[in-house]
Every structure is written in structure tokens, then in C-alpha cells.
């Protein structure tokens, strides 16, 4: 079940065009553990790393919806933005934040087993009782973070 969720989140990240671009300077990663500790620690997060290669990292944080309300998540989103992450996309159930061109946080609140992104593409979930928070870093850049 966890593997299915992880695969689905990776699919979402791929669907949002998270491919490499030309190499840039200042591409230092903000450690995923620091992100978890800073924003989500008090909500009982479960982190699963899915990609761990030199210059390319991805993982998923799962947090039970009973432990983290939408109001609390809105406070977290505001803190993320005040810490310099740019809001790239925001819809009812999905938000995407980028730090420079190299790192992103995708926050998903699934209500149904099948959701659709803004492009109309299906995103399927096995567990709709948890927040799905995707973390992605690529030293060469992330297309979704280009403006």
C-alpha cells in the first residue's frame, strides 16, 4: 500500500514536468529532514525516500488527516512562503512551492480515490486519509519551478 502511494506521488511529480534543465549555480539542497522537522514534525510524519541519487532526491511525507487540519496546513503553507518558497500552483486539494529552481514541495489533500490536476490528468490514491507531501530536488533544476 505504501509503495502504491509512493509510486502515485512520483507519477504526480512526473506529470508536473519535473525533468532536468541546464545546470545552474546555487543549487544546494535544503535537507529533507530539515523540511520535515521545520514544518511537519509535530504531526507524526512518516517519510519514505523514493529517489536518492547524487543530485536527484525525492520522497513522500504522509500525515494522517486527523493529526493535521486544513487550517493548520494553511498556517504551514504561509510559513513555507514566508521562508522564501514561491507558490507556483494552488488549487483546492493541491499546492506546489519552489525554492529557487532546484527544489519543490507538493502538498496534496486527496478527497477521492481519483483526483484530477489542472490539466485534467487523473491522480489515483489508495489512502485518502493522509496528506501526501512530495519533496523533490534536482541539482540541474526542476521545470515546474521555471518561470
The full set of domain ranges for the chain reads 32-138
Can you give the pTM of this predicted structure?
0.77
What mean pLDDT is predicted for residues 11-40? 64
Of 9-13, 28-32, 68-72, 92-96, which range is least confident? 9-13
The pLDDT value recorded for residue 21 is 40
Report the DSSP beta bridge partners of residue 115. 123
CB 87 within 8 A of CB 81: yes
The pLDDT value recorded for residue 30 is 82
Q: Which whole-number Å values give the CA distances from 119 to 64, 123, 139, in the listed order?
A: 27, 11, 26
Give CA–CA dist 54/122, Å, rounded: 31
Of 2-6, 9-13, 17-21, which range is least confident? 17-21
Amino acid at each position: 500500500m505504501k509503495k502504491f502511494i509512493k509510486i502515485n506521488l512520483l507519477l504526480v511529480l512526473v506529470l508536473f514536468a519535473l525533468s532536468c534543465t541546464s545546470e545552474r549555480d546555487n543549487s544546494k539542497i535544503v535537507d529533507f529532514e530539515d523540511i520535515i522537522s521545520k514544518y511537519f514534525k509535530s504531526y507524526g510524519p512518516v517519510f519514505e525516500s523514493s529517489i536518492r541519487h547524487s543530485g536527484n532526491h525525492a520522497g513522500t511525507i504522509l500525515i494522517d488527516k486527523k493529526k493535521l487540519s486544513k487550517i493548520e496546513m494553511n498556517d504551514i503553507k504561509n510559513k513555507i512562503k514566508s521562508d522564501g518558497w514561491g507558490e507556483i500552483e494552488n488549487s483546492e486539494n493541491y499546492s506546489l512551492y519552489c525554492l529557487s529552481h532546484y527544489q519543490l514541495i507538493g502538498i496534496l489533500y486527496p478527497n477521492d480515490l481519483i483526483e484530477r490536476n489542472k490539466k485534467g490528468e487523473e491522480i489515483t490514491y489508495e489512502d485518502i486519509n493522509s496528506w501526501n507531501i512530495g519533496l523533490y530536488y534536482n541539482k540541474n533544476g526542476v521545470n515546474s519551478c521555471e518561470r
